[in-house]
Amino acid sequence: MLNRTWIIGINEKFHTYLALKYINQLIELMKRLDIEAEEVIKLRLKLRNLLRESTLYKTKLVLEKVIEAKLSYESALLYGRLGDHERALTIFVRQLNDYKLAQQYCIELYSADNELKQRYQLFHTLLGIYLDINQRNGTELVSPALQLLNSGDTEFNTIKVLQLIPHKWTLSTIRQFLNKAILQSMHGLRQSLVTKGLATTENRIVKHERIVNERHNLVINEHTVCSLCKTALNEPQFIWYPRFQLLLHPHCSQSLTTDSTAKCCTK
């Protein structure tokens, strides 16, 4: 049998080699062709698919080569793979000027991440990038920042947003975001109330069933027999089904369908 570690090592070497091969080919192609040339685009798609789908290549080594080739999008993918989401988002915004791509990047990671704090952080990071650039370049990125805040696919900590946004923004500027935040809070509150109500109802049902079961009187003597095999209940343990008024030997009860009201009793 082949050693699993050896197989992974071989695959890592192969995937790394393939990624570097694509990058070297791109470097040579871009020396004589425009970046929008069909041949360049096709090869970049192959590289991107490999970078997205494989987890076996050496990320840092491939990243160094990608940076050397000045492939911004691919650099962002690799920074994301390394967990440096701020740098990845900065590339999407500052170098590629692709705000939709930056937002989609956050949404995809948001969907995959179960930690609420980390999910919030992605959107706050992107908003922070927009607002930092906004302070340097006037009002250029107000529009994508507002689009991010108002999107139905994004989620923010409202208090932190209010601390981040520029003081010059008016209430009317963030009205849509505030309306969304209020609706989300109300929805969350309603869900909490429904969950609490269901839990309370379930608790009452369980208490009621227990009270009903405890009201049943049970008398056992030397003449009491098993409801199934009709022999005396001489053993110290027996099974009682209050709902059906059945008394059974433990081994006899195993042939019956499980009943949640059954009680294992001892004389």
Contacts of 217 by beta carbon, 8 Å cutoff, 6+ apart: none
Which element (helix H / strand E) includes 248?
Answer: strand 246-248
Which element (helix H / strand E) includes 246?
Answer: strand 246-248
Q: What is the pLDDT of residue 1?
A: 43
DSSP count for the chain of H helices, then E strands = 11, 3
What is the spatial distance between Cα 155 and Cα 184, in angstroms, rounded to a whole number?
A: 9
Q: pLDDT digit string (tens) for 35-87?
A: 999 999 999 999 999 999 999 999 999 999 999 999 999 999 999 999 999 99
Q: pLDDT digit string (tens) for 89-114?
A: 999 999 999 999 999 999 888 776 55
Q: pLDDT digit string (tens) for 210-252?
A: 776 666 667 778 888 998 899 888 888 888 887 777 888 888 8
Mean pLDDT over 193-209 rounds to 82
What are residue 266's DSSP bridge partners?
Answer: 237
What is the spatial distance between Cα 233 and Cα 253, in angstroms, rounded to a whole number?
A: 13
What are residue 247's DSSP bridge partners?
Answer: 240
